[in-house]
Amino acid sequence: MQDGNALAARLDIGPGEDRISVSREKGLNRVLHILEFLHTTQRAVGIGDLAKGVNAPRSTTYTLVRELVDAGLLEMAGDGNRVYFGKKLYLYGMDYVRGNDLLRRGRQEVDNLSRETGETSELCMLQSGRYTIVHSSPGTRPFRISSATGLQIPLPWTASGRLLLAGFERAAIEDMVSEDDLVLPDGRRLRLDDFIADIATAKATGHCITSGLVDAYTKCLAAPVFSAPGKVEATMCLVVPIDTSEAKTGELIALLRGRAASLSIS
Amino acid sequence: MQDGNALAARLDIGPGEDRISVSREKGLNRVLHILEFLHTTQRAVGIGDLAKGVNAPRSTTYTLVRELVDAGLLEMAGDGNRVYFGKKLYLYGMDYVRGNDLLRRGRQEVDNLSRETGETSELCMLQSGRYTIVHSSPGTRPFRISSATGLQIPLPWTASGRLLLAGFERAAIEDMVSEDDLVLPDGRRLRLDDFIADIATAKATGHCITSGLVDAYTKCLAAPVFSAPGKVEATMCLVVPIDTSEAKTGELIALLRGRAASLSIS
DNA sequence: ATAATTTGTCTCTTACAAAAGACACATGTA
DNA sequence: TACATGTGTCTTTTGTAAGAGACAAATTAT
C-alpha cells in the first residue's frame, strides 16, 4: 500500500505555469510507432530497448506489447525476450496483396523484367507522402545493386519520385519534400525549382532517367503505371550501371514503358 | 475472435444495479477488431458498415479509420468510401517473412510440393491457439480443393491440428478446443478423448492422415515441421481425393515427411 | 559477496480519448 | 413533396487508459 506520495502529481513547478505537460500519448499512436520502429530496425528487439526506441514509458510499452502479442500482431522472438512482427501482420499483408490487382501483377512483372534484363528492377509507390520500394527483384549482375523492400528514400533522389509527383500541385509537392530531402547523398543540394521542373518534364515525356543521384555508379530508369488517366499510381524502374550506352538505355526504357503501360488501368 | 479483454468488468453482479454501462472500449482493441473484421470480409467495406460490423459507435469508427488511413495501415479503396488494408500492412508482413526463415522456406517448399504432386499443398501453423493456413498452393486437378490463406478452421477438423497439438498438455488442449470445434461440418460430434488419443498417435507416428473430416471427398495428409526437438512449429499438408490408393498415399506421406523434415531445425 | 542494471508486474491518479448526440448534406423511394 | 437511410463533421461529457513510480527477481559488472 502506497504511503506518502499521495499528491505526488504536484510537479508543475513554479508559479509561472510552465505547462511542461509531458504530453501523454494515445495508445494507438504508441503502437504505430512501435510498428514503425520494428520496421526500421528489421530485427527482433527487447522490450526495454523498444521503450527507449519509441520513447515511451516502460510500463506502457509492456502493456502494449502484451496486447499486441496476444492479438498476434507481434510475436516474442524465439530466443529470449525480444519482439518482432507476428503472423497476423503477414496474413493482413497477404490480404492486401490479394485485394490489390496492381500490386499482384506489378510484383510479377518486376520479377519478369529483372529476369529478362538481368538488371535490378523495382515497383515503387507513394506511401503517405513518401517514396517506397514496394517490391524489388535483384537482377543477375555480379555486383548487384540492391535495395530493401519497404525502404523509404527522399523523393528527389529518385527517378520514380519525379513520376510519382507528376499529378500534384506545387504546394502539395512542397509539403511532401523537406529541406533535407533536397540534399543528395553526396552532399550536393538540389534546387526545389529544378526538381519541380524535372517533374514536369517527366510528366511530359512519360518516363524519367536520373544518373548518379543516389550513388555515383548507377542510372535509374523509371516509367509510370496509371490507375486512371493522368493519375500515377506506381512506377516500375530499372537500376543500371551509369555507363550503360545510350542505345541500350533507350531499348530498356522502351521495354519498361511497355510493361508499365500493360499494368495501367484503362 | 478471441475477445482478449475477456474480463470486461463483470461487475454487474451486484444487487439490483444493472450497471448497463456498455463498457467503453479501448481504441487499440477497436482497431484490432477492425483489422480482424476486414480480414474476415476479405473486401473493402464502407465505414458505416464497418462500425456496425465491429459494433463501435460511428463517430469513433470515423476517427480511428482516419488515423489508420493516415498511418497507411488502411487505405480508402479506389471506388468510393470504402476502406481496406493498406500498403503498410503489406510491408510489415514482408518484414515478418524476411525475419522468419521457416515461413520463407516453407512457402517455397509448399509451392514445389504442389507442383510436383499436382495436389493442393499447405503450410499450417498455430496462430494464438487457432489453426491457420499460412500458405497454400492450389494443385492442378480440374476440381481443385482450395482453401484461402489465413483461413481459420477448428483444430479437430484437420490432420495438421493433431500434429500441431502434439507438444501440449491435456489442459492446454482443452483450452484451445471449444465444444463447437468438436462438431464436424457434417454434424458428427468428435469425443474429446478420441481427439486427444489421435494427437498422441500422430505424435508417435510422426504424421497424420484424416479422411472425410472437413468434407466427404478428401483425405488430408500432414507431417510436422519442428523448430526444436519435440516442438512442432508448423505442418505441411497435402489434400488429396479420398479414394487415393493405399500405395499412392504411402508414397505421398513419405515425400511429405521428407520435405517437412528438411524444413525442421536441428 | 555487493553493488548496479535490467526485467516483468503492480498500484494509483488524472489527463484525455471514446461515446453520445446534434448538425448539415447527400442519396434513394413512396 | 415528404421521409427514410447513409455519410461526414462538429461539440460536450465522463469513464478509463496512459503514465509515474515502487517492487521483487533475475542479470551483469566490480
Secondary structure (H, E, C), chain B: CCCCCCCCCCHHHCCCCCCCCCCCCCHHHHHHHHHHHHHHHCCCEEHHHHHHHHCCCHHHHHHHHHHHHHHCCEEEECCCCEEEECHHHHHHHHHHHHCCHHHHHHHHHHHHHHHHHCCEEEEEEEECCEEEEEEEECCCCCCCCCCCCCCEECHHHCHHHHHHCCCCCHHHHHHHCCCHHHECCCCCECCHHHHHHHHHHHHHHCCEEEECCCCCCEEEEEEEEEEECCEEEEEEEEEEECCCCHHHHHHHHHHHHHHHHHHCCC
Under 8 Å between Cβ of A219 and A158:
no
Strand C-contacting residues in B 8-47, CB cut-off 7 angstroms: 22, 24-27, 30
Counted domains in chain A: 2
One domain for residues B257 and B221: yes
Last residue of a domain, one of B90, B123, B139: B90
One domain for residues B189 and B240: yes
CB-CB neighbours of B119 under 10 Å: 25
Under 8 Å between Cβ of A223 and A235:
yes
Q: Which of the four pLDDT bands, split at 50, 70 and 90, describes residue A16?
A: very low
Is A174 in CB contact (< 8 Å) with chain B?
no
User: In terms of pLDDT, which residue wins out, B136 or B222?
Assistant: B222
- For the ranges A58-72, B2-16, B197-211, the lowest mean pLDDT is seen at B2-16
> Which chain B residues are Cβ-neighbours of A84 within 8 angstroms?
95-96, 99
pLDDT for position B2: 34
Q: What is the pLDDT of residues A108-123, one digit of tens each?
A: 999 999 989 988 899 9
CB contact under 8 A, B149 and A103: no
Q: What CATH number corresponds to the domain at position B160?
A: 3.30.450.40
The CA distance from A207 to A253, in Å, is 8
| Residues having Cβ less than 7 A from any atom in strand D | A 2, 5, 8, 11, 22, 24-28, 30, 56-60, 63-64; B 9, 21, 23-28, 46-49, 58-59, 62, 66, 81
Is the C-beta of residue A67 closer than 7 Å to nucleic acid chain C? no
Residue–nucleotide distance: B52 CA to D7 C1' (Å): 14
Residue type, A126: L
What is the number of residues in chain A? 266
Q: Which of the four pLDDT bands, split at 50, 70 and 90, describes residue A147?
A: low
The answer, yes or no, to whether residue B218 has pLDDT greater than 60, is yes
One domain for residues A237 and A115: yes
All three cell numbers of A132, joined, read 517506397
One domain for residues A53 and A108: no
**Average pLDDT score over residue span B61-83:** 86
The answer, yes or no, to whether residue A224 has pLDDT greater than 90, is yes
Q: Is A263 helix (H, G, I), strand (E, B) or coil?
A: helix
- Nucleotides on chain C that have an atom closer than 7 A to a protein CB are 6-22
pLDDT for position A5: 32
- For the ranges A163-177, B1-15, B146-160, the lowest mean pLDDT is seen at B1-15
**B14 within domain boundaries:** no
One domain for residues B123 and B83: no
**A233 within domain boundaries:** yes
All three cell numbers of B224, joined, read 510436422
One domain for residues B61 and B116: no
The answer, yes or no, to whether residue A53 has pLDDT greater than 60, is yes
Protein residue minimizing CA–C1' distance to D17: B26
Q: Is A95 helix (H, G, I), strand (E, B) or coil?
A: helix
User: In terms of pLDDT, which residue wins out, B245 or B42?
Assistant: B245
Place of cell 470504402: B82
The answer, yes or no, to whether residue B104 has pLDDT greater than 90, is no
pLDDT for position A9: 33
pLDDT for position B149: 63
**A10 within domain boundaries:** no
**B113 within domain boundaries:** yes
CA A188 to centroid of chain Cα atoms: 22
Place of cell 476479405: B42
H or E, element range at A103 = helix A101-117
One domain for residues B35 and B114: no
**Average pLDDT score over residue span B28-45:** 90
Q: What is the pLDDT of residues A148-185, one digit of tens each?
A: 666 678 999 999 999 999 988 898 899 889 999 999 88
The CA distance from B260 to B109, in Å, is 9
pLDDT for position B183: 92
Distance from CA of B56 to the nearest CA of A (A): 16
Protein residue minimizing CA–C1' distance to D8: B62
All three cell numbers of A195, joined, read 526538381
One domain for residues A137 and A213: yes
Protein residue minimizing CA–C1' distance to C13: A9
Q: What is the pLDDT of residues B76-100, one digit of tens each?
A: 886 668 999 999 999 999 999 888 8
The answer, yes or no, to whether residue A17 has pLDDT greater than 90, is no
Q: Is A7 helix (H, G, I), strand (E, B) or coil?
A: coil
One domain for residues A251 and A146: yes
Under 8 Å between Cβ of B240 and B218:
yes
The answer, yes or no, to whether residue B166 has pLDDT greater than 50, is yes
> Which chain B residues are Cβ-neighbours of A132 within 8 angstroms?
87, 91
The CA distance from B137 to B240, in Å, is 13
A94 → closest Cβ in B26, B44, B150: B150
Question: A139: left (phi > 0), else alpha (psi -120 to 50), else beta?
Answer: left
Q: Which of the four pLDDT bands, split at 50, 70 and 90, describes residue A20?
A: very low
C-alpha dihedral sign at A125, A127, A132, A134: negative
The answer, yes or no, to whether residue A62 has pLDDT greater than 60, is yes
The CA distance from B89 to B62, in Å, is 20
pLDDT for position A10: 32
CB contact under 8 A, A149 and B94: yes
CA B88 to centroid of chain Cα atoms: 22
Q: Which domain, by its residues, includes A210?
A: 100-263
Last residue of a domain, one of A36, A57, A90: A90
**Average pLDDT score over residue span A249-259:** 95
Going by the DSSP 8-state scheme, the letter that residue A67 receives in this structure is: H
Q: What is the pLDDT of residues A77-118, one digit of tens each?
A: 866 789 999 999 999 999 999 888 889 899 999 999 998 998
pLDDT for position B146: 57
Distances in Å between the Cα of B136 and the Cα atoms of A184, B70, B95, B183 are: 44, 32, 20, 25
One domain for residues B118 and B173: yes
Under 8 Å between Cβ of A73 and A85:
yes
Under 8 Å between Cβ of B7 and B37:
no
Q: Which residues contact A241 (CB under 8 A, 6 or more apart)?
A: A141, A217, A218, A219
- For the ranges A30-39, A62-71, A197-206, B141-150, the lowest mean pLDDT is seen at B141-150
> Across chain A, what does the average pLDDT equal?
84
**A133 within domain boundaries:** yes
Name the B residues in 53-112 with CB < 8 Å from any A CB: 64, 67, 70-73, 77-78, 84-99, 103
Q: What is the pLDDT of residues B12-32, one digit of tens each?
A: 333 333 333 456 788 899 999
pLDDT for position B21: 42
CB-CB neighbours of B253 under 10 Å: 19
The answer, yes or no, to whether residue B10 has pLDDT greater than 50, is no
Last residue of a domain, one of A43, A62, A90: A90
**A11 within domain boundaries:** no
One domain for residues A143 and A256: yes
C-alpha dihedral sign at A127, A73, B159, B40: negative
**B21 within domain boundaries:** no
**A95 within domain boundaries:** no
Q: Are strands A218-228 and B231-241 parallel, antiparallel or unpaired?
A: unpaired
Place of cell 512449429: B233
CB contact under 8 A, A39 and B97: no
Percentage of the residues of chain B whose pLDDT score is greater than 70: 86
One domain for residues B83 and B170: no
